[in-house]
A and B are shown apart, each in its own frame.
Chain A
Amino acid sequence: MNIDLEMDETWKEEFLARVEKDGPWASWEMYELALEAAHHLSVPEFNGLQAPKHLPHLTILPHQIEVARRVVEEMNGKAILADEVGLGKTIEAGLVLKEYMIRGLVKKALILVPASLVSQWVRELNEKFFIPAVQQKKSYVWEQCDIVVSSIDTAKKPPHRDIIYGQSYDMIIIDEAHKLKNNKTKNYEFVQNLKKKFCLLLTATPIQNRIEEIFNLVSLLKPGHLGNAEQFAKTYGKTRAIQTNDHLKALVNKVMIRNRRADTPIEWAKRHVEPVLIEFTNEERELYEAVKALRRESFAGSFSLITLLREACSSREALFLTIKNMIDKCGGAVPEPLERVLEKINAVTTNSKAEKALELIRSINDKVIIFTEYRATQFYLQWFLKQHGISSVPFRGGFRRGKKDWMQELFKHHAQVFIATEAGGEGINLQFCRYVINYDLPWNPMRLEQRIGRVHRLGQTDDVYIYNFAVKQTVEEHILTLLYEKIRLFERVVGELDDILAKMNLANLERYFEDAFVHSRSEREMKIKMENIVAMIELAEQLGKEGGERHATT
């Protein structure tokens, strides 16, 4: 037998000292209890999971247990956890960490997450898993605490970086790991130089990634698993999406676990989606037309007309801010067409959308979340609702964690309406609410999915209602009908669109959308671009189905 064997000497010396001094000795009962405790703490098998027995208060879903089991038994503690949004990757990571801690294989762990999620991770590990995780606030924490949660941006900076490099971690967990897809970045290099005995990379969107990005992510976890860069380029360089190469897929699946909503037998709350079409007043219509007329102006190239039009659909306040910026840039004299727009802005006294929202909120008579793209609209809505005796809470992605939590609490207990701008999404759970108004629609369908994901997630027990606002005969109506009705975004389960796009190698769908909505010079151009996108998606779906059928018959 050629295995290192270590005998613990501490008991021996203490025992001999007591023999010498003739005591003190334990009672038989205490002696029995000590042995009994040791029995309870011992792990009788290499395989299987101990953690669930330690967490009876936590509802762990079967797919989460299975993930933890596979990570420990089949992947040797190094894995990419890539479940679709809302399936509980944090729970899975917590389970794996807990399992290793129970087995005594992990004592020191470093958890790197986006800054906005640090305190949430700390809370969940402590409350759900009884893991004494600590937020890194002072530099001594790295050395003195065993389980530390930090943002990667803090960790990679001196002096932290050097202290961290001096630690020997048993486990590294990285949330939102898709941010490490580029191996030329400082973050990548930082993680590459960490000692990783066990390592979990959490990401929700690995499939969108280009193939080199998958290579980078896997090479961070397990260098060589996909060969070195040169071999990889040679073998798979022509493969554009991972789905199209079965060999590569099998290889990646050895280190990556991805559960889909559709594969889990969880009953999801139903989702009702209702488009709400709104009629402009005459004044609003005139304003909209005045903005549209800017297209003919000589300085038209310097701004995005579509953006202005979308702002005009949101609120005159949102539009005003942009117009004012444009005027400031002109310096001195206000160009005549902008002057005209300003006039029209002043002429508008009501907001048809806001009126509609008010009507809807009153009829719902329950908690409602309103999403808007514009800060100015957010302010306006808060003021407007207050005028009508409805309390609301504003929310922005830029809020500090404490403020986020506070606002979330305020909404839960004291206010009827929650008005959020974009990026308010990450890291907040609003399951207690089930009505969402999309006051204006984002051009990126993924963002829309994230919005809805705040309420339509694990733990939501009631049906969810989504109202999509759009003003008739405007750019919004096009977005609504062309994009959201033709690709039937809302009827799909989360992640489905991701998959379809991956099959089609449409990794850069976002870029197509951006091109259509931000860079189009006219509505016509936008319409044509959107129709192209729809056609591509339909084709991808067609291919996907055929692929599925072929697969089924073989």
Chain B
Amino acid sequence: MQQHEIRRFVERYFAANGCTFVEASDDYLTVQLTAEMDKELMNRPFYWHYIERIGGVPQPMQLTLITRASERTDKLKGERLHFGAPRLHQLFRSAQKRGSFIRLYEEPSAPLDGNAALHPWLGMNVTISYECDRKKDEIVSLGLHLISGTIVESFHERMRERRLTPKIPDYCFTISPLIKPRSGIGRLEQYIRSRIAADNHAWADEARRRWADDLALLDEFYKDCEEKPECYYIEKEALEKQYKPRITVSVINGGLFYLLPRSS
């Protein structure tokens, strides 16, 4: 992640959460937090507890974030933001927490002749993690048409091209889903399972080979012991934890999208 990407992310994050910028230059920005954001980020529960108890006027903090070191920022009291900075990772976590669930409607681009029907879709972005003693992630974006059961990939990219709004637009109505959200999620999970099953898993075979090699060494090491000592079993268990291939699927975010049907 480049510094300008970090800068962009931070600006968008605070703007999306209703914070204002007190100062902003190419090198840094000072943000006036809202009460909500102060509670979210500044870790001072006692202050908030106290203020709320006495009914005082809260004074949310300002946060100065330096995105590029310069002579000016050297004198500044602020936090340097870079890819490994704990503050940035806190913002990542916060964004994920606050951006998990969504419901949007598509807005027609041209005035409508009459009423328009919006079709329900279930969108889900998931991380598939392949783990052994190493790890790799894959992010997949899926969409399920809750009428026909059609599943498409790169759903999120498609959504970026549409005009979406949180309120149902005028002269539009939604078709109620034939597939209920719960079973919709089930269908997408099933899709992910078969997608994974169809994949090449050489990585898992290699991990198992490494595991078998180490296990053989371990057995050899203790082969003369009639009764294996406890550390043999501890080590054996540790090897399983180290090498055993496993895949976890976690949902980043997702939600309901009501879309105008397209011919394409």
Contact = CB atoms under 8 A, between A and B. Distances in A.
Interface string A70-81: 001100110000
A222 B250 CA distance: 33
Given A33-B12, A34-B99, A77-B242, A42 B134 contact: no
Contact of B237 (A170, A195, A219): A195
A14 B217 CA distance: 47
Contact of B131 (A32, A105, A192, A225): A105
Contacts of A18: 101
A299 interface: no
Interface in B132-184: 133-139, 156, 164, 166, 181-182
Contacts of A36: 9, 95
Contacts of B96: 34, 37-38
A337 interface: no
Nearest to A53: B83
Contacts of A267: none
A29 B210 CA distance: 44
A103 B221 contact: no
Contacts of A28: 102, 104, 164, 166
Contacts of A19: 181, 256
A46 interface: yes
A41 B80 CA distance: 19
Contacts of B252: 34-35, 38
B223 interface: yes
Contacts of A30: 16-17, 95, 98-99
A419 B97 CA distance: 55
A328 B186 CA distance: 88
B247 A6 contact: yes
B99 A55 contact: no
Contact of B95 (A15, A33, A42, A130): A33
Interface in B75-114: 80, 82-86, 91-93, 95-104
B57 interface: no
A7 B185 CA distance: 11
Given A7-B189, A37-B95, A105-B135, A42 B127 contact: yes
Given A76-B210, A76-B242, A222-B217, A34 B181 contact: no
A54 B84 contact: yes
Given A4-B246, A53-B83, A34 B221 contact: no
Contacts of B246: 3-6
B230 interface: yes
A28 B98 CA distance: 11
Nearest to A25: B103
B244 interface: yes
A222 B234 contact: no
Contacts of A105: 131, 133-135
B211 to A, nearest CB: 9
Contacts of A57: 80, 82, 84
A16 interface: yes
A341 B66 CA distance: 69
Contact of B84 (A4, A24, A56): A56
A16 B184 CA distance: 11
A329 interface: no
A228 B252 CA distance: 48
Given A23-B103, A130-B86, A15 B217 contact: no
A44 B214 contact: no
Interface string B197-231: 10101011000001000101111111110000011
Contacts of B4: none
Given A33-B12, A37-B96, A195-B234, A4 B193 contact: no
A193 interface: yes
Given A16-B182, A34-B95, A76-B133, A8 B251 contact: yes
A18 B102 CA distance: 9
A23 B197 CA distance: 35
B238 interface: yes
Interface in B43-101: 80, 82-86, 91-93, 95-101
A86 to B, nearest CB: 25
Nearest to B6: A40
A8 B17 CA distance: 27
A53 B88 CA distance: 13
B125 interface: yes
Contacts of A5: 193, 196, 246-249
A33 B96 CA distance: 7
A56 B83 contact: yes
A26 B102 contact: yes
A26 B217 contact: no
Contacts of A53: 1, 83-84
Contacts of B156: 35
Contacts of B203: 46
Nearest to B194: A1
Contacts of B223: 228
Contacts of A55: 84
Interface string B1-21: 100000001001101110000
B245 A3 contact: yes
Nearest to A38: B252
Given A11-B250, A25-B255, A44-B136, A33 B235 contact: no
Nearest to A170: B241
Contacts of B30: none
Contacts of B102: 25-26, 28, 31
15 contacts: A3-B201, A3-B247, A6-B249, A11-B254, A16-B182, A18-B101, A28-B166, A29-B16, A33-B95, A43-B137, A54-B83, A168-B241, A195-B238, A197-B242, A198-B133
Given A4-B245, A11-B250, A223-B218, 17 more contacts: A8-B251, A16-B182, A25-B103, A26-B98, A32-B99, A37-B95, A39-B139, A42-B139, A44-B136, A46-B130, A46-B135, A53-B83, A54-B84, A77-B242, A130-B86, A198-B242, A223-B235
Interface of B: 1, 9, 12-13, 15-17, 80, 82-86, 91-93, 95-104, 125, 127, 129-131, 133-139, 156, 164, 166, 181-182, 185, 189, 192-193, 196-197, 199, 201, 203-204, 210, 214, 216-224, 230-231, 234-235, 237-238, 241-256
